Amino acid sequence: MGEKRKKKKRTWIIIGFLAVSLTLLLSYITFRPAGMSYKRVKAHRGDITTYYSFSGNVASKNRQSVYAEKIMQIADVYAEKGRAVKEGDVLFTTVQGEEIKSKINGEVVLVNAEENKQVTPGTLLAEIVDYNSLEVVFKVDEYDVGALSSGREATVYIHAIKKEFNGYIREISKEGQIANGVTYYTAAIDIEQDGNIRTGMSAEVRLVSDKAEKVVILPMNVIYFDDQNQPYVFINGNGNSVVKQEITTGINDGTYVEIKSGVREGEEVLYKTDLKLEALLFPEGGKNTRFYPGGNKK
């Protein structure tokens, strides 16, 4: 029995020592000078721009599918896959002496007719695509389509060739298509061929959503939230104390956020970088959370 009591006593001594150590550590972290536990950043003036972003693909604006309009017998085939043709060029002639011509400038991508063969009405004879007249077609959901308008400027980035273009929205569909319970509309932007662009390439279309110029800004990682999702920052109080300062935020670009009130230009803000420490000291509202005030579209 004496040995068991000794072991039990040693266990309680160890537990007590750990508890005292933890208390001293938390006290040290909480009450040590601000300069030792926080980093500092000054609020400054800058510009913030947010964007709508949509995904699309490169397509040809001009395409001609050549069909037989009646029963006919092909006499001569001038169309050849890969051949460049101009509007008015003869593609086929019939034994009756008729000429079937191209209606656009482009390249023949399909030939589906043979000499001395008879074809029925509706038969596809050839396909012509104009690869020099290009557009980017992209989908817009019903919640964002109101922000688009014909003639509005946009930026187009084609991933495959790592190239960016400026363009203007040419048209927006008036009828939507439903997918997964959401209605989508299509819009198109004209782009110029640079010799490297191919139809089908994926593209990203960006349009300015909001812009705030010469406003007070702070990095997003210095903003914290309380239980009511009210944003706040830490600032120096009297002496060397640290106090919580509520703020009002505006738009953000994912890196910086507009500060409408609570912090002035040039004022110093304190922040922590140890997320584990934040969780201990501020288990409910102290965690730094990514947020999108002002309807940022990213």
Phi, psi of 131 (to 5 degrees): -85, 0
Amino acid (1-letter code) at residue 222: V
Q: What is the mean pLDDT of each run of 10 residues along the chain (298 residues)?
A: 60 66 58 61 94 95 95 95 96 95 96 94 96 95 92 94 93 92 94 90 94 94 92 88 92 94 94 55 37 37
Nearest alpha-carbon partner for 54 in 199, 149, 154, 179? 154
Quote the pLDDT of residue 276: 46
Sign of CA dihedral 257, 261, 263, 269: negative
Quote the pLDDT of residue 23: 64
- The residue written with tokens 């995904």 in the block is 55
Helical spans, DSSP H, in the chain: 2-31, 34-37, 275-281
Quote the pLDDT of residue 22: 65
Quote the pLDDT of residue 261: 95
Quote the pLDDT of residue 217: 95
Quote the pLDDT of residue 288: 36
The contacts found for 260-264 with CB under 8 angstroms, 24 or more apart, are 260/215, 260/216, 262/232, 262/233, 263/43, 263/216, 263/218, 263/233, 263/235, 264/43, 264/216
Amino acid (1-letter code) at residue 247: I
For the chain, count helices (H), then strands (E).
Answer: 3, 22
pTM score: 0.64
